[in-house]
Structure 1
Amino acid sequence: MFEIADRLLAALDTGADTAIATVTRVLGSAPRTVGTSMALADGRVLGSISGGCVEGAAVEACERVLGSGRAETSRFGFSDDDAFAVGLSCGGELDIVVSRLDSPAVRAELEAASAGRPAGLATVVGGPAALLGATVAAGEGRGLGGDLDEAALRDAGVDDVSLDRIRAEVEAWFAAGRTGELIVECESRLSLLVETQRPAPLLVLVGAVEFASALAAAARPLGYRVVVCDARPAFATSARFPAAHEVVVEWPHLYLAACDIDERTVVCVLSHDDRFDIPVLREALESSAGYVGAMGSRRTHERRVAALREAGATAEAIERLHSPIGLDLGASTPEETAISILAEVLATRTGTTGRSLREIDGPIHSRREEPAR
């Protein structure tokens, strides 16, 4: 549900009576991932769980839950025997849990997610009816709690060994930023939906140029924390880059060296100036950044590679460089180029081809993990 945290908080702030439907399991080809949510707040729909296939039925489920106060689950799928029934025309199958959104523990995690801080929830989505929809853990490092304490779980048939496992598994999932279904075999088989949000991934745009402005505007809705960095104060101004979270006046390689970089970090060098490009590329390529790209022609790329070798960059590091940056989309304007670059970033992150879907076989949505047991 963290993808709509801002909208959920806005609804709760108005006192809206709110129910939320969250995807707990996906089988086959389905348009949304586990943890995706849609809410009904005073008759208004927030978010989407299926791209339109089952929204109507989910709204009806939300209305029932608001009336009864009891959480419920539903399964949707496509059946050739009943082609006109509510289902997924894409051929997949998904399960949802629907519950009232009135838990202080959940609200606290929504506030953390909205502020860009780590957030985590573990919610009962299968097991004793009395526990359905209840939160058993909220927030990394806080142990079991939320709506149910350990005594309530014991009363529901969860023994001490299972409690220890739930505690350890949920903490491990929170720490890893993992979202999915966790199944615990105990006296009453318990299924938990674990939802996490890590801090927003960092996108560093080197060079205060028009391409950086377009790329910042396109990347921000994708969840990146966008930083534009340039050593020239006349160019690196917040007024020129309104979509950036931060505009930094600094030598880019010094800024990058001070950053907390992980495998989700993206570095795009757009400056066309070897004084900036070579030091920052060497720093980026030797870091754990998941994507490093540089703008320029093929001739510029060859010159840049030679300069990187001369500066001591290894062949393995240079092999990580995406240059010329972007996919072959025929882009020419800054806005089109931004799409080309972000498409390559996504393909690199997911390990996919970047080719047209009609040219390849197999499922068009990412493969889902089986529930952990």
Structure 2
Amino acid sequence: MLNIADTLHRWCREARPFALATVVDVRGSAPLPTGTSVAVDADGNVVGSISGGCVEGAVHDLCRQVLCDRGAPQRAWFGYSDDDAFAVGLTCGGELDVLVQRVDPASDPDLGAALDEIVQGRPTAVAQVVDGPADLVGRMLCVLADGTASYGTLDGGQTDRAVTAQAGALLRSGRTARIELGGDADTCPDRLSVLVHVAASRPRMLIFGAVDFAAALSQAGNFLGYHVTVCDARPVFATRARFPHADEVVVDWPHRYLQRTKVDARTAVCVLTHDAKFDIPLLRLALDLPVGYVGAMGSRRTHEQRLRLLCEQGVTDEHLARLHSPIGLDLGARTPEETAVSIVAEVIASTNGGSGFPLSRGTGPIHRPVPDPSSAAGGRPSLDTVAVAAAPV
């Protein structure tokens, strides 16, 4: 859908009905990814492509049929047939599962409102039900960067909350994906398959300090979908060869780089230098920015000295409460790789409002609604749940 967002937005503003065909699943070597769409309006105008030409004619005919019949959404499967070289199919050998639905912006303005967010460049997730109860298939729910469902509804209750939480998590990671949920009391009563279209850049992980721990952390951050930057003022250490998993390696004073780079509520700032001349000006700035996570490496003694120096620099208690120091959850980590896991575990817990406790020690639903990022950024777990990761003094 996002591949044709501008045109769909214009059609919605013009209250022009159209049929929307979306790739909801891909198997094998299909030409375009899940979430790609083509749309056809009542005048036969076509925008987008889902196969690069292989099955466009058949999809166009199905769109015209759904648009004219005003019926329920339809599913179509396209693959390659060795038995009939002239049959409709994908010559690349892959398979496409396509959902075709009618959209009438005049009677259902929610998609148009969601597209308005997208074309204005705001991080947005559109959750589209692609499988489940007939009355829900094709329904859409829009989730904004603050984790709230702003446009559209599925059941107005538990299902909305479950889908919103999942879509919000994908929005924070900047990833379009299909999710399966429901069929249990903890999420929603009906089993649903939902395709979440995400319009957002990857969240950023800023790692300061070109040390061995940073190399392992950059790999872990990359695995989680972050755009990873490693920054250090020492050019001999901040090299591409030492950090192959980072998206960028920057040679600059940490606080100076943070002053000029772009951050948001999804940004994780990880300070691994444990050197006051770098840490203090950097943390003073980071704790005053609207980032989602700020953590700093060091021993308990280093932490106490760091707090004292930050207080002397005028950092308030409210801002100090945002600091995760010593960085990481207590996993008994020793190696750089284990320490990286402890750090990203705390980042995940902080982002999603998790306690950091073993699930075996808890009660109630495992999956909970995601908190407002603004509140997550302003608080931190208790000291009982945040302990030191293995780090040098």
TM tier relative to shorter chain: 0.5 to 0.7
**How many angstroms apart in 2 are the aligned matches of 1:368 and 1:311?**
34
- How far does residue 364 in structure 1 lie from its aligned partner after superposition? 2.2
Report the equivalent of 1:242.
Answer: 244
**One-letter amino acid of the counterpart of residue 158, structure 1:** D
Indicate whether 1:178 and 2:125 are aligned: yes
CA–CA distance in structure 2, aligned partners of residues 198 and 176 of structure 1 = 5
CA contact (8 A) 1:170 1:194 kept: no
Q: Tell me which residue corresponds to 1:206.
A: 208
Pair 257,104 (structure 1): closer, same or farther in 2 beyond 3 Å: same
Q: Please tell me whether residue 166 in structure 1 is matched to residue 166 in structure 2.
A: no
CA-atom RMSD in angstroms: 3.7
Instruction: Deviation per CA, 1:225-264: give whole Å up to 9, x if none.
Output: 1111011111111111111111100011111111111111
Say if 1:157 and 1:219 are closer, same or farther in 2 by CA, change over 3 A.
closer
In 1, distance between residues paired with 2:337 and 2:103? 57
Pair 189,323 (structure 1): closer, same or farther in 2 beyond 3 Å: closer
SS at match of 1:240: coil
SS of the aligned residue for 1:355 comes to: coil
Aligned ranges 1:131-142 → 2 under 5 Å: none
Structure 2 length-normalised TM: 0.54
1: CA distance, partners of 2:310 / 2:289: 15
Q: How does 1:12-23 map to 2 (within 5 A)?
A: 22=24
Figure out how many residues of one structure are paired with residues of the other and give that number.
Answer: 241
| Change beyond 3 A, Cα 1:280–1:195 | same
Change (3 A) 1:182 1:288: farther
Is this contact kept in 2: 1:267–1:293, CA < 8 A?
Answer: yes
Q: Which runs of 5+ in 2 are unaligned?
A: 3-20, 35-46, 53-65, 77-97, 131-135, 141-194, 372-393
- Indicate whether 1:41 and 2:28 are aligned: yes
Contact 1:267/1:292 (<8 A) preserved:
yes
Match of 1:298 in 2: 300
For residues 2-17 of structure 1, the aligned pairs below 5 Å read: none
**Equivalents in 1 of 2:370, 2:208: separation in Å?**
35
Name the structure where helix makes up a greater proportion of residues: 1
| CA gap 1:157/1:294 in 2 versus in 1, 3 angstroms | closer
Between the aligned residues of both structures, percent identity stands at 46
Structure 1 351/106 Cα, relative in aligned 2: closer, same or farther at 3 Å?
Answer: farther
Q: Which runs of 5+ in 1 are unaligned?
A: 3-18, 23-37, 48-102, 109-123, 134-146
Q: Which amino acid aligns with 1:160?
A: A
Q: How far did 1:368 drift?
A: 8.6
Residue by residue, what CA displacement relative to the aligned partner does 1:193-244 show, whole Å, maximum 9, x if unpaired? Answer: 6511410111111111000001011110110011110111111111111111
The one-letter amino acid paired with 1:248 is: V
Measured at CA, do residues 297 and 40 of structure 1 come closer, stay the same or move farther in structure 2, by a change above 3 Å? same
Report the residue type matching 2:210 in the other structure.
Answer: A
Structure 2 partner of 1:321? 323
Alpha-carbon separation, structure 1, partners of 2:117 and 2:349: 27
Question: Which TM-score applies when normalising by structure 1?
Answer: 0.57
How is 1:333-348 mapped onto 2 (pairs within 5 angstroms)? 333-348=335-350
- Look up the SS of the partner of 2:320 in the other structure: helix
Rounded Cα–Cα distance in structure 1 between residues aligned with 2:129 and 2:318: 38
8 Å contact kept, 1:211–1:270: yes
Aligned-pair CA distance for 1:362? 2.0
Q: Tell me what 2:133 maps to.
A: none
- Partners of 2:319 and 2:28 lie apart in 1 by 50
Matched to 2:242, the amino acid is R
Q: Secondary structure at the match of 2:289?
A: coil
> 1:191 matched to which residue of 2?
139
Contact 2:217 2:337 in 1 (8 A): yes
Deviations 1:315-354 (A, max 9, x none): 1111100000000100011000000000000000000111
Which residue identity does 1:169 align to in structure 2? Answer: A
Q: 1:263 aligns with which of 257, 262, 265?
A: 265
- CA distance in 2 between partners of 1:254 and 1:362 (Å): 45
1:40 partner letter: R
For the 8 Å contact 2:23–2:50, the answer to whether it is kept is: no
- Residue 225 of structure 2 aligns with which residue? 223
